[in-house]
C-alpha cells in the first residue's frame, strides 16, 4: 500500500477548505457529515456555500491567505479550481505543517478522499490511491446494495448496550452475543423497521446470557484452498473471522491469515517432509485443549481437509473428546491444477474416471494398487508426486504403459510461482528436472480412450 487507510477523529477539530466554488462545495458537503469545524477561505462564495455560512454551519474568512490560516488543522482541502493557485496554496499549507488534499492532484495529496458508504456510525471507505476513481464508485455501488439502509441504527443500538453487555458477560460470551446480533434474527428484525423488538431481544440476551445456539462452538476444520487467498470459500473466511485461535499448515498462504480477526491467536503447526515440527497426535491434542478452554478453534489446512490432509485423524481425536466439529471444504489441489492448465478433471468420452492418490504413502504397496487401476478412460492425480517420479515412471514402464500415458505437471498451482509442463511418461523425470519443478506439485497421469472407444461413445450418444 502506498497509502494507509485510517479514520480520523473530527469532532471539534478544524478543517480548512480553500476555495468558494463547486469543488469547495463538494468537500464541504462531505465534511459536514462529521462534527468538524469548517472554515472556507475565499474572496467569494457560491450560493450554496453562502447559504451554509448564513446558517452558521461554516465559518467564512475572506482575508488574504497566509500560513497561519492552515495552522492547527485536522485536514486542509485546496479546491479553488485553478491549478496554479492550488499549487501555490499547497506550498503555503505545507509550510504550516498541514495534512493536505488538493482536488484532482494526487501528486500533491497527503490524504486522498475515498468513496464512502455512509451508514453512520458504520462507514465504509473505498480507495484506489487516486488511480481509478470510477472503479471506487463501482465498488461503492455494490456496497450500497449489500448493506441495508438501517444498519447504522443497529450498530448504534449495539453501541448503547455495550457497557451493559460488558458488565454481565465475559469477553468470549460478548463476542458470541454480537456475532448473534449481526448474523442472525436480530439484524433481520431490525431491517424490517422493528427496532424496539430488536432492542428487546438484545437486552433479554444480555440479561439471561442465552442466545442462539447455547452449545459449545464446534472446531472448524477449514480448507484454505490450494494457495491463492481468493480461492478460500466464503464460509472459510467467516470461520477465520470468528476464530479465537487458528492452527495453520506450512503451505497456507500468509495472505489468507490476513482474513482472520486481528486479535486471533495464530499457531503454526506445519509439517515439512522429513522435518515434522509437531507429530500429528500433538496437533490433535492442541485442538482438543484449545476447544476445552472455550475458544473458537479453526484448523486451517491447505486444499481440502478431507483429501490427504489428515483431517480424519483430527476429527477422530475431537470426537473421542466429545468436542463437536465441522468440516468446511476447500478447493483441492487437483481441481486448482486442472483449472490452471485450462482443462478438466473428467471429460465425457475421453476420461470418465478420476483417481486421487499421493506420492507419499505409509503403504509402499499403494502405488501398485492405483497402477492396476490406470486403464483406458482413467486419470490419476498424484499429490506431492515429484519425490516419487522415478518410481512412478519405472512402475508404469514395467506395466507396458510407457508410451500410452500422457503426463501433465502443475507445481504451485494458482500461485505466482506456478509452473506447468507436459510430457510422455518416459520423459517425466527429465521434464521435472528441466523445469525445476518441486513439491508441492500435482502429476496428472492420463490413459485416454482410444479412437475405437470414442467412436462407440459417439454412436451411443
CA atoms within 13 A on the CB side of 289: 7
What angle in degrees, to the nearest 10, is found between the helix axes of 151-168 and 195-208? 20
Q: In this predicted model, what pLDDT tens digit does every residue of 203-238 receive, in sequence order?
A: 999 999 988 765 567 999 999 999 888 999 988 998
pTM of the model: 0.64
Q: Say which CATH number the domain at 301 has.
A: 3.40.1010.10
CATH number where 103 lies: 3.40.50.720
Is residue 456 very low, low, confident or very high in pLDDT (cuts 50, 70, 90)?
Answer: very low
Q: For residue 231, what is the DSSP state?
A: G
Written as nine digits, the cell of 446 is 492420463
Q: What was the pLDDT predicted at 215?
A: 58
Same domain flag for 158 and 233: no
- Cα–Cα distance, 286 to 313 (Å, whole number): 13
Distance CA 370, CA 408 (A): 17
Q: Does one domain contain both 426 and 346?
A: yes
Cα gap 400→170, rounded to integer Å: 67
CB burial of 262-285 (b: ≥16 within 10 Å; e: otherwise) equals: eebeebebbbeeeeeebeeeebbe
Q: How confident is the model at residue 458 (pLDDT cuts 50, 70, 90)?
A: very low
Residue 270, pLDDT score: 83
Catalytic residue among 173, 229, 271, 448: 271
In terms of domains, do 340 and 440 share one?
Answer: yes
Judge whether 310 and 281 are in contact, CB under 8 Å: no
The distance of Cα 295 from the centroid of its chain, to the nearest Å, equals 22
Residue 461 domain-assigned (yes or no): no
344 and 311 in one domain? no
- Do residues 321 and 330 lie in contact, with contact meaning Cβ atoms separated by under 8 Å? no
Band the pLDDT of 459: cuts 50, 70, 90.
Answer: very low
- Domain tally for the chain? 4
Of residues 97, 136, 91, the one with CA closest to residue 114: 136
pLDDT digits (tens, 9 = 90+) for 170-195: 988 898 899 899 988 899 899 888 89
Out of 35-44, 179-188, 283-292, 393-402, pick the least confident.
393-402
The reply to whether 297 falls in a domain is: yes
pLDDT at 453 > cutoff 50: no
CATH number at residue 378: 3.30.950.10
Q: How many CB atoms lie within 10 A of CB 377?
A: 19
Residue 189 lies in a domain: yes
Q: Is residue 95 part of a domain?
A: yes
Mean pLDDT of 318-334: 95
Closest listed residue to residue 330, CA positions, set 408, 267, 253: 253
Beta bridge partners of 220: 298, 326
Q: Which of 249, 253, 304, 408 is catalytic?
A: 249
Contact criterion met (CB below 8 Å) for 49 and 110 = no
In a domain, 459, yes or no: no
Annotated catalytic residue 249: yes
The neighbouring-strand residues paired with 267 are: 247
Active site annotation includes 271: yes
Residue 258 has φ and ψ, to the nearest 5°, of -70, -15
**Domain around 409:** 335-453
The answer to whether residues 238 and 276 belong to one domain is: yes
Q: For residues 359 and 382, is the Cβ–Cβ distance under 8 A?
A: yes
**129, three cell numbers:** 490511491
193 in the same domain as 176? yes
Q: What's the rounded Cα separation, in Å, for the pair 229 and 256?
A: 5
Q: Assess if residue 76 is contained within a domain.
A: yes
Sign (positive or negative) of CA dihedral 212, 217, 223, 229: positive
Which H/E stretch holds residue 443?
strand 441-447
pLDDT per residue over 383-431, tens digit each? 998 988 998 888 888 888 878 889 999 999 999 999 999 999 989 999 9
333 contacts 226 by C-beta, under 8 angstroms: yes
What's the average model confidence in pLDDT over 45-66?
Answer: 96
Choose between 239 and 360: higher pLDDT.
Answer: 239
Q: Which three cell numbers stand for residue 45?
A: 462564495
In sequence order, which residues have a C-beta less than 8 Å from that of residue 365 and are 6 or more positions away? none
Residues 223 and 325 in one domain: yes
CA distance between the termini of the chain = 55
Instruction: Identify the pLDDT of residue 457.
Output: 35
The pair phi, psi for residue 169, each rounded to 5°, is -120, 145
- Burial state string for 47-79 with b = 16 or more CB within 10 A and e = fewer than 16: eebeebeeeeebebeeeebeeebbeebbbbbbb
Asked if residue 441 has pLDDT above 50, the reply is yes
Q: What percent of the chain has pLDDT over 90?
A: 65
Give the pLDDT band (50/70/90) at residue 38.
very high
Tell me which residue has cell 500500500.
1
Q: Which residue has the higher pLDDT, 38 or 5?
A: 38
Question: Are residue 235 and residue 260 in the same domain, yes or no?
Answer: yes
Residue 460 has pLDDT above 70, yes or no: no
213 in any annotated domain: no
Nearest to 334 by CA among 268, 400, 381, 286: 381
Q: How far is CA 338 from CA 62, 335, 411, in A?
A: 67, 5, 11
At 461, the pLDDT band (50, 70, 90 cuts) reads very low
pLDDT of residue 452: 44
Strand 245-248, strand 59-61: pairing:
unpaired
Q: And the C-alpha cell for 71? A: 495552522
Tens digits of residue pLDDT in 345-374: 988 878 888 999 987 655 555 555 666 778
Average pLDDT over residues 120-134: 90
Tell me what pLDDT residue 373 has: 74
Give the residue from 79, 84, 95, 85 showing the smallest Cα distance to 26. 79
Amino acid at each position: 500500500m502506498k497509502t494507509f487507510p485510517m479514520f480520523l477523529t473530527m469532532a471539534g477539530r478544524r478543517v480548512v477548505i480553500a476555495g468558494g466554488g463547486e469543488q469547495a462545495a463538494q468537500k464541504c458537503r462531505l465534511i459536514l457529515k462529521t462534527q468538524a469545524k469548517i472554515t472556507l477561505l475565499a474572496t467569494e462564495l457560491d450560493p450554496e456555500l453562502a447559504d451554509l455560512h448564513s446558517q452558521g454551519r461554516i465559518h467564512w474568512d475572506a482575508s488574504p491567505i497566509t500560513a497561519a490560516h492552515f495552522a492547527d488543522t485536522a485536514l486542509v482541502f485546496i479546491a479553488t479550481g485553478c491549478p496554479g493557485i492550488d499549487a501555490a496554496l499547497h506550498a503555503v499549507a505545507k509550510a504550516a505543517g498541514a495534512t493536505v488534499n488538493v482536488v484532482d492532484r494526487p501528486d500533491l495529496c497527503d490524504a486522498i478522499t475515498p468513496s464512502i458508504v455512509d451508514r453512520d456510525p458504520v462507514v465504509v471507505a473505498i480507495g484506489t490511491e487516486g488511480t481509478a476513481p470510477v472503479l471506487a464508485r463501482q465498488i461503492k455501488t455494490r456496497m450500497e446494495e449489500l448493506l441495508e439502509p438501517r444498519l447504522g441504527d443497529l450498530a448504534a443500538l449495539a453501541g448503547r448496550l455495550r457497557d451493559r453487555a460488558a458488565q454481565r458477560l465475559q469477553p468470549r460470551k460478548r463476542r458470541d452475543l454480537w456475532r448473534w446480533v449481526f448474523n442472525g434474527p436480530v439484524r433481520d428484525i431490525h431491517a424490517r423497521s422493528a427496532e424496539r423488538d430488536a432492542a428487546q431481544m438484545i437486552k433479554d440476551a444480555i440479561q439471561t446470557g442465552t442466545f442462539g445456539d447455547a452449545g459449545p462452538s464446534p472446531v472448524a476444520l477449514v480448507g484454505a484452498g490450494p494457495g491463492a487467498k481468493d480461492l478460500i470459500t466464503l464460509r472459510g473466511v467467516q470461520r477465520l473471522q470468528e476464530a479465537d485461535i487458528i492452527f495453520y499448515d506450512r503451505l497456507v498462504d500468509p495472505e489468507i491469515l490476513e482474513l482472520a480477526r486481528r486479535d486471533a491467536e495464530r499457531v503454526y503447526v506445519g509439517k515439512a517432509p522429513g522435518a515434522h515440527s509437531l507429530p500429528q497426535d500433538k496437533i490433535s491434542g492442541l485442538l482438543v485443549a484449545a476447544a476445552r478452554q472455550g475458544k473458537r478453534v479453526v484448523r486451517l489446512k491447505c486444499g481440502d481437509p478431507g483429501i490427504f490432509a489428515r483431517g480424519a485423524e483430527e476429527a477422530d481425536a475431537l470426537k473421542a473428546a466429545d468436542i463437536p466439529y465441522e468440516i468446511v471444504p476447500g478447493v483441492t489441489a487437483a481441481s486448482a491444477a486442472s483449472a490452471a492448465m485450462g482443462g478438466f478433471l473428467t471429460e465425457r468420452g475421453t476420461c470418465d474416471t478420476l483417481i486421487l492418490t499421493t506420492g507419499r504413502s505409509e503403504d509402499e504397496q499403494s502405488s501398485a494398487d492405483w497402477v492396476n487401476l490406470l486403464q483406458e478412460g482413467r486419470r490419476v492425480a498424484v499429490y506431492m508426486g515429484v519425490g516419487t517420479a522415478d518410481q512412478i515412471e519405472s512402475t508404469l514402464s514395467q506395466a507396458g504403459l510407457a508410451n500410452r500415458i500422457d503426463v501433465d505437471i502443475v507445481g504451485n498451482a494458482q500461485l505466482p510461482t506456478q509452473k506447468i509442463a507436459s510430457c510422455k511418461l518416459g520423459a517425466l523425470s527429465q521434464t521435472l528436472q528441466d523445469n525445476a519443478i518441486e513439491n508441492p506439485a500435482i502429476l496428472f497421469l492420463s490413459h485416454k480412450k482410444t479412437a475405437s472407444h470414442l467412436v462407440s461413445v459417439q454412436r451411443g450418444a
